[in-house]
């Protein structure tokens, strides 16, 4: 490959193998050897960008290897890749085709390279993810319990008790992980100083939103998925709605906002004003989610503790 030709690489990740496509040489191959050997080969190509899509965690090992070799790598949302494929007229789907689409996406869109989470952040993320799974299982079991009786109900109660123990243990692990790091301890103290922000929201923000404090208010709201999106065409003016973003984090932010509406004076005043203006409850709550997130983002950016007067000035 000529030195002045930029190389873009797409990697389709699966449990069994990696399918790699190199653009513009159209070289493609499957990787079943060690990740280190693959990383050394890609490093020798000096690519402008390597793109993978999120694949349920299978992509973490690949991105970790490439990041340690200073290879620019980005993990993108699979929905973006499928939309890009349809836009280019590619309807078929195989592993090699997906790798090709990823490489073409890298060249056309050039998504921003962001820092790869270190081992501590990945550990915290795994604990937070497992906690979310336990909460979901608890909800399902409690729903089943309401529809059963007898021996089946007894078994469900035992399972609920065991899941509750697991949840309590995970909560302790989250607090321990946050307290072990001086940087995280400082961030935790900033977040916990905000009325309505509890330990679960604190851990989730640190684990799932490392961009907090690095982006402006519009960017952070869009990243989480609480920014209102227009739906206009010609003379038609549709309702604004939120969409996309980090859904798991948005769910936790919603629960934190419910608490903030009750106990945070700034969020409560904002919510009451929206309701008095005729906004539906869910619309008002979503607006409060955005405001709470923007306040947290401003606190992180300027490294200042909770101050109602400062928060009152936050748009």
Same domain, 253 and 279: yes
Nearest to 225 by CA among 242, 201, 204: 242
Same domain, 193 and 153: no
pLDDT at position 33 is: 59
**Which CA distances in Å does 302 have to 176, 215, 260, 292?**
26, 12, 22, 16
Between 119-145 and 150-180, two packed helices, what is the crossing angle to 10 degrees?
Answer: 160
Same domain, 189 and 315: yes
Q: Which of 2-6, 37-41, 99-103, 225-229 has the highest mean pLDDT?
A: 99-103
Q: What is the mean pLDDT of the chain?
A: 87
Same domain, 174 and 190: no
Contact 12, 18 (CB under 8 A): yes
> And the tokens for 184?
């995280």
The more confidently predicted of residues 210 and 100 is 100
Same domain, 97 and 209: no
Q: How confident is the model at residue 175 (pLDDT cuts 50, 70, 90)?
A: confident
The more confidently predicted of residues 198 and 6 is 198
Q: How confident is the model at residue 187 (pLDDT cuts 50, 70, 90)?
A: confident
pLDDT of 66 strictly over 90: no
Same domain, 314 and 192: yes
Q: Is residue 1 part of a domain?
A: no
The more confidently predicted of residues 32 and 193 is 193
Query: Residue 136's domain spans which residues?
Result: 119-180
Q: What is the CATH number of the domain that holds 75?
A: 3.30.420.10
Q: What percent of the chain has pLDDT over 70?
A: 95
Same domain, 24 and 86: yes
pLDDT at position 56 is: 74
Q: Is residue 94 part of a domain?
A: yes
The more confidently predicted of residues 134 and 15 is 134
Sole residue written with tokens 């100083």:
193
Q: Is residue 237 part of a domain?
A: yes
Domain boundary residue, one of 77, 109, 141: 109
**Which CA distances in Å does 39 have to 19, 46, 276, 291?**
13, 11, 58, 42
135 vs 139: CA distance, rounded Å: 6
What pTM does this model have? 0.76
The more confidently predicted of residues 117 and 123 is 123
Same domain, 297 and 267: yes
Q: Is residue 220 part of a domain?
A: yes
Same domain, 102 and 168: no
Q: Is residue 3 part of a domain?
A: no
Same domain, 225 and 296: yes
Average pLDDT over every residue of 287-293: 95
Q: How confident is the model over 34-44, as pLDDT tens digits?
A: 777 788 888 88
Contact 201, 293 (CB under 8 A): no
């Amino acid at each position: 490959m000529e030195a002045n030709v930029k190389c873009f690489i797409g990697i389709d990740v699966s449990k069994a193998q990696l399918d790699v496509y190199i653009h513009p040489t159209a070289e493609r191959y499957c990787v079943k050897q060690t990740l280190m050997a693959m990383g050394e080969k890609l490093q020798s190509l000096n690519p402008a960008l390597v793109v993978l899509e999120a694949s349920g965690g299978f992509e973490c090992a690949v991105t970790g290897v490439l990041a340690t070799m200073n290879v620019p790598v980005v993990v993108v949302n699979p929905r973006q890749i499928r939309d890009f494929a349809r836009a280019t007229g590619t309807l078929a789907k195989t592993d090699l085709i997906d790798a090709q689409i990823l490489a073409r996406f890298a060249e056309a869109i050039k998504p921003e390279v962001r820092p790869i989470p270190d081992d501590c952040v990945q550990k915290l993320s795994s604990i937070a993810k497992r906690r979310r799974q336990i909460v979901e299982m608890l909800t399902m079991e409690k729903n089943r319990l309401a529809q059963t009786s007898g021996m089946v109900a007894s078994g469900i109660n035992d399972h609920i008790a065991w899941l509750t123990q697991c949840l309590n243990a995970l909560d302790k692990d989250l607090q321990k992980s946050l307290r072990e790091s001086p940087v995280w301890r400082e961030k935790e103290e900033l977040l916990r100083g905000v009325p309505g922000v509890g330990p679960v929201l604190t851990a989730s923000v640190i684990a799932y939103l490392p961009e907090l404090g690095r982006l402006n208010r519009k960017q952070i709201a869009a990243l989480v998925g609480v920014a209102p999106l227009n739906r206009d065409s010609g003379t038609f003016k549709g309702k604004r709605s939120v969409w996309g973003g980090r859904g798991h984090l948005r769910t936790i932010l919603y629960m934190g906002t419910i608490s903030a509406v009750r106990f945070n004076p700034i969020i409560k005043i904002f919510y009451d004003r929206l309701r008095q203006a005729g906004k539906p409850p869910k619309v008002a709550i979503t607006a409060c989610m955005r405001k709470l997130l923007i306040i947290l983002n401003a606190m992180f950016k300027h490294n200042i503790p909770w101050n109602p007067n400062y928060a009152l000035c936050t748009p």
